[in-house]
Amino acid sequence: MTGGSSRVLRFVQVDVFTDTLFGGNPLAVFLDGQGVSDREMQAIAREMNLSETTFVLPAERAEVSAVVRIFTPYRELPFAGHPTIGTAWTLLSEGLVDGSSGRIVLGEGIGPVPVRFEGDAADPSFLWMDQSVARFETPTIATSELAYALGLSAADLIPELPIELGTTGVPFLYVPLGDPAAVDRVEVRVAELRACVAKAGVESLGVVIFAPAAAVNEVYTRMLAPGGGGVLEDPATGSASGPLGAYLVRHRLAIGEGVVEMLSRQGVAMGRPSEVHIRVELEAGQAGRVEVGGRVVPVLRGKLYLP
């Protein structure tokens, strides 16, 4: 029953950074966003009530396969990782882009984002998203204040490792903890955490808390979003994982030669376990080009009706 609606929007919902149904980070991909206003896109994203919802638009340049707009329930983002991976997989599996070269390019708010894939173009088994070289700075945040805002003590943080602000397009605050149990113990005091991240100069800053795991080059991770965007914690965050990999290389928490490969296990505490793969190329021993990758599982297809 359409209720007299005149527009029908098709969408596909997928789980990203997982090979298991109902794991990873869910994403709704609207296959044709032409004629949908900004206000309508935002309203639809709020209706879907997922971490992000994407809208696909025709490419404006020959080197771009499609334009993608990304919305949380409360605002538009210039770039995000799991929407990039999930939208690329959906466009390929729906046959809406040419995957004959083994890669596509999505036009996002930060510019063109290349995505390469493994397996058949109609059913990619694994996708890798390019990210720029990570940039870091040290914000002025008192360790004791941040620990309190996370429901921890200063002893739960690793004193010899810095709290850093890192970005490959979207900034995040990186907070190293001593062990995975400390990561699980975090209970956010929202007002206090917002006050801490405001000191970093970015109102909507996400906070990545992580600890080395038992396996080599593996970390246990949570991503908190106290900035009021409607999603307090994210089960899998590709845009945060690129700088995380660079941080691990910078501070010798991950080792390798040529290309350092890492795994971030995120979303476990939320009941949506995710596996985010990270590759960092070494340039003169320093972290250079970054790739973030993972798998995608289809969940459902649907139609949304607009007047």
What's the CA gap between 65 and 298, in Å, rounded? 21
User: What is the largest distance, in Å, between two alpha-carbon atoms of the chain?
Assistant: 63
Nearest to residue 25, comparing CAs of 85, 104, 77, 78?
85
Other CB atoms within a 10 A radius of the CB of residue 282 amount to: 15
- Structure tokens of 3? 């209720």
d(CA 298, CA 300): 6
Here the tokens at position 102 are: 């083994």
The DSSP letter of residue 270 is G
- Residue entry with tokens 């080395």: 212
CA distances from 247 to 96, 163, 233 (A): 36, 10, 21
Q: Is 130 helix (H, G, I), strand (E, B) or coil?
A: strand
Name, in order, each residue with C-beta under 8 angstroms of 242's C-beta and a sequence gap of 6 or more: 81, 131, 134, 168, 278, 290, 291, 292
Three-class secondary structure of residue 63 per DSSP: coil
Beta bridge partners of 177: 157
User: Which amino acids are annotated catalytic?
Assistant: 52
Task: Provide the 10 A C-beta neighbour count for residue 293.
Answer: 23
The residue ranges of DSSP E strands in 58-170, in sequence order, are 66-71, 76-77, 103-108, 111-120, 123-131, 135-137, 164-167
